[in-house]
Amino acid sequence: MAVSKKKIVLIGAGNVGHHLGHRFFEKGMSITQVFSRKITKARKLAKAINAEAINDLSLLQQNADLYIIAVHDDAIASVAAQVASILKDKLVVHTSGSAPSTLLKPFFKNYGCFYPLQTFSINKKVDFDQLPLCIYSPQKRNRTKLHHYASSICPNIFEINDHQKSVLHVAAVFTNNFSNHLFHIAKKITETEGISFDILKPLMLETVLKIQHNHPKDMQTGPAIRGDQKTIERHLKLIENNPDWVQLYKLLSEGIQKI
């Protein structure tokens, strides 16, 4: 399948849609339309990737080969319902990590998932040569098609079924969302004493680098794993004015001591 000659429509111009659009365009794919409820967002992305901008789903072209729904999880079903009669037998996928492909089953004959496992921000360029791209469709022919589309923009393709993807998404939340929240707390703690958060960044980087070739359990350090109760008590005293942080510190320390 000559993917570069295929037409793709992006339904959604947020973080994921933005990066997928730019990556497909960079690799010579034809993005024919970009939809967003906010026409200004659609126009901004469409202009950059030589596509048509729309903010009305009834204006979707019906001759594209792949339709990618890249909207918030709670909006996927609503969008699918609105375009079901228009797209009929077309191949339609969503980009959600947590929602199953079967969310699209009531609306389309050909459906699946196209999930790039990465944290996306519009202003931060993403390295598609490194990230994993997870695909799935219950139909083998559609899995083959999705693999072609995926491999045109990323070398790391994984066929992950709905259950596996849901479990993977939980792991991703622990890896990214929860750790980022801990970074936020660390920033608050340092700023309280007039200490630059930058001083912690080499430690953050080294923490990630160490687990590239080692089991996280074997790399665990700190007072909890050492059973250093006096240090733990001193730490809790320092953050006692924030009960949420105290509770989180205790919970994580107890978890570390059980591994």
Structural domain span for residue 20: 3-160
Strands (DSSP E) contained in the chain are 7-11, 30-35, 52-54, 66-69, 91-94, 110-116, 133-136, 157-159
Q: Are residues 103 and 172 in the same domain?
A: no
Question: Do 90 and 118 sit in the same domain of this protein?
Answer: yes
Interatomic CA distance for residues 174 and 171, integer angstroms? 5
Q: Are residues 171 and 248 in the same domain?
A: yes
Same domain, 126 and 188: no
Same domain, 22 and 108: yes
pLDDT tens track, the chain, 259 positions: 566 578 999 999 999 999 999 999 999 999 999 999 999 999 999 999 999 999 999 999 999 999 999 999 999 999 999 999 999 899 999 999 999 999 999 999 999 999 999 988 888 889 999 999 999 999 999 999 999 999 999 999 999 999 999 999 999 999 999 999 999 999 999 999 999 999 999 999 999 999 999 999 999 999 999 999 999 999 999 999 999 999 999 999 999 999 8
> Structurally, how many domains does the chain consist of?
2
121 lies in the same domain as 218:
no
Same domain, 131 and 173: no
Based on the fold, state whether residues 200 and 123 are members of the same structural domain.
Answer: no
The most distant pair of C-alpha atoms in the chain lies apart, rounded to whole Å, by 68
Instruction: Single out the residue in 128, 160, 192 at which a domain terminates.
Output: 160
| Domain identity same for 62 and 186 | no
Residues 151 and 172 in one domain: no
Query: Do 49 and 66 fall into the same domain?
Result: yes
